[in-house]
């Protein structure tokens, strides 16, 4: 379905999200760091994305997270950072649902966290963000693919639970 450089797993994950979005008639937005825009690219390549995808923010540098997405100043590979990214993005983009992620893609550790550490948050207005913590194995590209699938799945689950 989606011509993704990351592979067929992402295709399967996005198909579920598209079905959830269509059933709910909602809009979604993204905020990402370690995936460097690949999550937004997966959304943008999906069928009829212009009708439901509000956009994405790639906040790679910590200062962008602090200043644009109003995350806590300090380490950025934290659940608090992911939650703030998701909430700020929903407000800025006017999206019904958002997913945000921050982490360490590798190959080495960062901020005392091992490679493959990911914090992911999903958000919809009127609820607290749902935060998930993952430890993925593999090379940086493999960590990125697993992270994107986790983000797509988490967002689809949130939408499905609310429809």
Q: Any idea where the domains of the chain sit in the sequence?
A: 10-16+25-161
- How many residues belong to the chain? 163
Give 76's Cβ-side CA count (13 Å radius): 22
Alpha carbons 115 and 104: distance in angstroms, whole number? 5
**93-114 exposure pattern, b = at least 16 Cβ within 10 A, e = fewer:** bebbbbbbbbbbbbeeebeebe
Query: Which one of 3.20.20.140, 3.40.50.10420, 3.90.950.20, 3.40.50.300 gives the CATH number of domain 10-16+25-161?
Result: 3.90.950.20
Q: Which two tokens stand for residue 50?
A: 């212009």
Q: Which residues contact 74 (CB under 8 A, 6 or more apart)?
A: none
Q: What is the mean pLDDT of the chain?
A: 94
Q: What is the predicted pLDDT for the residue at 7?
A: 55
Q: What is the predicted pLDDT for the residue at 133?
A: 98
Q: To which H or E segment does residue 146 belong? A: helix 140-161
SS3 (DSSP) at 103: strand
pTM: 0.94
DSSP secondary structure code for residue 33 in this structure? S
Q: How far apart are the first and last CA of the chain?
A: 24
pLDDT digits (tens, 9 = 90+) for 86-136: 999 999 999 999 999 999 999 999 999 999 999 999 999 999 999 999 999
């Amino acid at each position: 379905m989606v011509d993704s450089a990351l592979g067929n797993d992402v295709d399967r994950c996005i198909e579920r999200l598209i079905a959830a979005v269509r059933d709910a008639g909602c809009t979604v937005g993204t905020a990402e760091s370690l995936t460097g825009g690949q999550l937004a690219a997966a959304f943008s390549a999906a069928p009829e994305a212009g009708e439901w995808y509000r956009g994405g923010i790639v906040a790679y540098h910590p200062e962008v997270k602090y200043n644009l997405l109003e995350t806590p100043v300090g380490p950025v590979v934290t659940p608090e950072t992911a939650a703030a990214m998701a909430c700020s993005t929903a407000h800025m983009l006017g999206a019904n649902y958002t997913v945000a992620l921050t982490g360490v893609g590798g190959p080495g550790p960062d901020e005392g966290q091992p490679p493959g550490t990911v914090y992911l948050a999903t958000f919809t207005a009127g609820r607290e963000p749902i935060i998930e913590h993952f430890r993925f194995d593999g090379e940086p590209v493999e960590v990125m693919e697993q992270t994107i699938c986790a983000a797509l799945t988490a967002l689809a689950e949130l939408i499905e639970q609310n429809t």
